[in-house]
Amino acid sequence: MNPLEQQLTYPFGDTLPGRARKQEVAPGVFWIRMPLPFALDHINLWLVRDEFRGRRGWTLIDCGIASDETRGLWDQVIAGELDGEPIVRVLCTHTHPDHVGLAGMLTERFDAPLWMTLGEYAMGRLLSAVMPGVDGESAHRHFRRHGVPEGDELESIRRRNSRYFASLVPSMPLRFRRITDGETVRIGSRDWRVIVGTGHSPEHAALYSAQDGLLVSGDMVLPRISTNVSVFDLEPESDPVTWYLASLQRFDACRPDTLVLPSHGRPFRHLHIRMQQLRDHHAERLDAVEAACRERPMTAYEIVPVMFHRQFDTHQLTFALGESLAHLHALWHRDRLARAQDGNGVVRFSAV
């Protein structure tokens, strides 16, 4: 076990929802787990009892990927776990495939509206259409520019990104209802405040009920792993580490006894301890990256083993390199590193 986990409290212990079953975590709030075909092998979804626009049923928070397995599990959930009532609203925290993949299917099936922030909805439409700038060729250029050598690894990245998002999110709903930072969303008997964060995704929406000390944190605060923050080709000079750390401050006002409902891992308490752990983690990684660049100019690809002491498949490498580049960018934007491009178009970072 990660020793940092021992500083957190898990009120449900090791108990997890059964396959295609719901588990109550607070009055009227239920936990469902759906599988993922990655090293991170699950996503948590949340069903909240609701009455919305005259319809009694459920508000669903996040959806799972569009796969045959997940569709089959949803058929079981709908048949056995919804108490005969419909999903009346789908709210997606952000546009990554495990969160929005089946939004199209579920909103159509139940004639339920999609609620999202504008930034996340727009990005989902862009990615599902595989528009130039977010396709395999763009990924190839981006990773080559940041040090991945020509060869099988780079070609695998090109193939993986050619249809990756669209294969897991085959369609986005054609309309949505925008939610905004600080807005109060009434779900069932509770008011939930929208807390928008950046860094992990463009305009991620977490939901906080001060009334009961509940936080649907999405991917912004996870108990076991640090949230991925990456630089991608579409926004090549972004600074997601700095944005993410600034976004964490928006959760400082949450109650000390808040029960956090994360998208991955188990529900936990001690939110403020976990946020400090995440701040410390990024500070340590920034120091390690800066020290490596003081020894010699480094590409993001060369920084990957500095930050991560393990091997990656193609899927994981895209996130590891994106995160390595994000830490280099944080130091570059803070004038702690310089950035230069060589004659072959490869970017390296060095001490100022």
pLDDT at 204 over 80: yes
d(CA 274, CA 227): 12
Residue 67 token pair? 């796969």
Structure confidence at residue 163 (pLDDT): 85
Q: Give tens-digit pLDDT for 14-53.
A: 999 999 999 999 999 999 999 999 999 999 999 999 999 9
| Contact indicator for 249, 199 with CB cutoff of 8 Å | no
pTM, entire model: 0.96
Task: Compute φ and ψ for 268, nearest 5 degrees.
Answer: -145, 165
The domain locations on the chain are 3-295
Q: Give tens-digit pLDDT for 206-258.
A: 999 999 999 999 999 999 999 999 999 999 999 999 999 999 999 999 999 99
Percent of the chain with pLDDT over 90: 92
Half-sphere exposure of 85 (CA within 13 A, CB side): 18
pLDDT at 132 over 90: no
Strand 190-197 relative to strand 184-187: parallel, antiparallel, unpaired?
Answer: antiparallel
The listed CATH number (3.60.15.10, 1.10.3720.10, 3.40.50.720, 3.40.50.10140) that belongs to domain 3-295 = 3.60.15.10
Judged by DSSP in three states, 251 sits in: helix
| Contact indicator for 81, 118 with CB cutoff of 8 Å | no
Structure confidence at residue 313 (pLDDT): 85
Position 120 confidence tier, pLDDT thresholds 50, 70, 90:
very high
Structure confidence at residue 4 (pLDDT): 81
Q: What is the DSSP string of 32-83?
A: EEEE-SSSS-EEEEEEEEEEETTEEEEEEE----S-HHHHHHHHHHHHHTST
Mean pLDDT of 106-110: 98
Q: Give tens-digit pLDDT for 289-345.
A: 999 999 999 999 999 999 998 888 888 899 999 999 999 999 999 999 999 999 999
Structure confidence at residue 312 (pLDDT): 86
Structure confidence at residue 1 (pLDDT): 59
pLDDT at 194 over 90: yes
